[in-house]
Structure 1
Amino acid sequence: MSTALETTGFLLGVASWLIIGASLGNDRWKVSTVSGNVIISNRQYENLWHSCSENSNGVADCRDFESLLALPGHIQASRALMIISLLLGLASMIVSLLGLKCIHIGSSTDETKGKIAVTGGVLFLLSGLCVMVCCSWYAARVVQDFNNPFYGAIRFELGTGLFLGWGGAALAILGGGLLTCACRRIKSDKPKAGYYTANQPKTIYAPTAKSEAESRAYV
């Protein structure tokens, strides 16, 4: 695997970690819809941590969710998945940095560095999958409530935070896939195990007088 491709995977992983962090801190995971004939003076939006209301002058008033246990199950799971994703991304960056060919630490062989790079790539893949599941689950609930004719509360649409999460997840999966390509089989210089090798010279045994005498004795 070329050093440029491996470095590209690492940089994509770092970029994904930054975008996922920006997605988690974004306030607009879902935004109140403006469709319809009714003019709405206030715009409401929410994320995993609080809900906000913004008036026509652009002044926002945010209120944190008071009880964790009182929250819906998909919000609790989304919080856990996002935090796990950031922790996995941080660990994968450290591990992948040690596995890069351009970084020389100690007397690590190419085979060892390849295994370390693959470990970092797998962690990036897990990080991206966590964010993908989180954002897709949250978006599915928003779409379900929006299309529910019996839903009496405010209808919301998909916000910027979800799209940032999907973008960060895609970069994490792509970067992890490039790093896992570092898993290659390094040929060993040792000969293959077995009785004979391809280049082993053949030994021709010539019969001796003693062996001829012994064979005649058995006849």
Structure 2
Amino acid sequence: MANSGLQLLGFILSLVGLAATISATFMVQWKKQSQSKAHRVYEGLWMTCSGNERTTCDPHDSVLKLPPEVQATRAVLLFSILLSAVAVMISIVGMKCTHFMDAKPSSKSLAALIGGILFMSSGLLTIIITSWYVKMIVNSSQQTHRLQSLEFGKAVFVSGFGGFLTMGGGAFLSCRRCSKRQAAQSISSNHLLPTAIPKSNYV
């Protein structure tokens, strides 16, 4: 039961991390630029919003005209979400609280391990691309004019938080040590049962 609870905890953490990654991917506040005290420009992966009190948003027209950090971040995050989606389906099959492949415990444990590894890979990709995006923003802010304040927005923190949650949840899911220990206990109990039954017949 302890191993089943650990898997369920890891699965929930991974789902929360996936939801945070999806939210960050479509958020506008990836890059914030203050051209004056009132006028601000927010640049996301899919659109740019600007204005004073009223904000207007325009989607990116061409992918080729986008900065390289936006193109790379968009592609890697979409691939990370795809990996997590595959990991969700595989993990549901391999978790002990489900009834898929109950007749094949070794295959079920392997499915949970693969799902956990996919979750960890997805979270690691999210963390790497988010850190690289932050580095690019810092380098760009050092080259911009002093009147223009360039900094990263809230989506960066949401993306990093989602990546760490997904990676941590995958680590819990791929805990094969617990499943091996539980399997060893079940095997040892099965070996003890035949020896105990014949002794009771002689009494």
Classify the TM-score, shorter chain: 0.7 to 0.9
Residues 52-89 of structure 1: CA distance to partner in whole angstroms, max 9, x if unpaired? 1021x2x1111222211122222111111010011111
User: In structure 1, what is the equivalent of residue 6 of structure 2?
Assistant: 5
CA contact (8 A) 1:78 1:135 kept: yes
What is the number of residues matched between the two proteins?
A: 181
The alignment's TM-score, normalised by the length of structure 1, stands at 0.76
How far the C-alpha of 1:138 sits from its partner, in A, is 1.0
RMSD: 2.0
| Greater mean alpha carbon deviation, residues 168-177 or residues 65-74 | 65-74
In proportion to residue count, which structure has more helix? 2
Identity %: 30
Larger Rg over CA atoms: 1
Alignment gaps of 5+ in structure 1: 190-219
Which of the numbers 142, 153, 177 marks the counterpart of 1:147?
A: 142
How far the C-alpha of 1:41 sits from its partner, in A, is 2.1
User: In structure 2, what is the equivalent of residue 41 of structure 1?
Assistant: 38
CA distance in 2, matches of 1:111, 1:118: 11
SS at match of 1:70: coil
After the TM superposition, which residues 75-90 of structure 1 pair with which residues of structure 2 at under 5 Å, given as runs?
A: 75-90=70-85
CA contact (8 A) 1:6 1:182 kept: no
User: In structure 2, what is the equivalent of residue 114 of structure 1?
Assistant: 109
Are residue 54 (structure 1) and residue 48 (structure 2) matched? no
Residues 154-213 of structure 1: CA distance to partner in whole angstroms, max 9, x if unpaired? 432120100000000000110011111135545597xxxxxxxxxxxxxxxxxxxxxxxx
SS at match of 2:176: coil
Alignment gaps of 5+ in structure 2: 188-203
CA distance in 1, matches of 2:13, 2:55: 34
CA distance in 1, matches of 2:93, 2:135: 38
CA distance in 2, matches of 1:107, 1:101: 8
User: In structure 2, what is the equivalent of residue 26 of structure 1?
Assistant: 27
CA distance in 1, matches of 2:87, 2:17: 11
SS at match of 1:157: strand
CA distance in 2, matches of 1:108, 1:137: 45
CA distance in 1, matches of 2:167, 2:62: 33
| Greater mean alpha carbon deviation, residues 169-178 or residues 98-107 | 98-107
Residue type of the alignment partner of 1:9: G
CA distance in 2, matches of 1:125, 1:106: 23
Residues 21-72 of structure 1: CA distance to partner in whole angstroms, max 9, x if unpaired? 11111110111248xxxx52211111111111021x2x11112222111222
Which of the numbers 91, 96, 112 marks the counterpart of 1:101?
A: 96
CA distance in 2, matches of 1:51, 1:174: 32
CA distance in 2, matches of 1:15, 1:180: 17
User: In structure 1, what is the equivalent of residue 122 of structure 2?
Assistant: 127
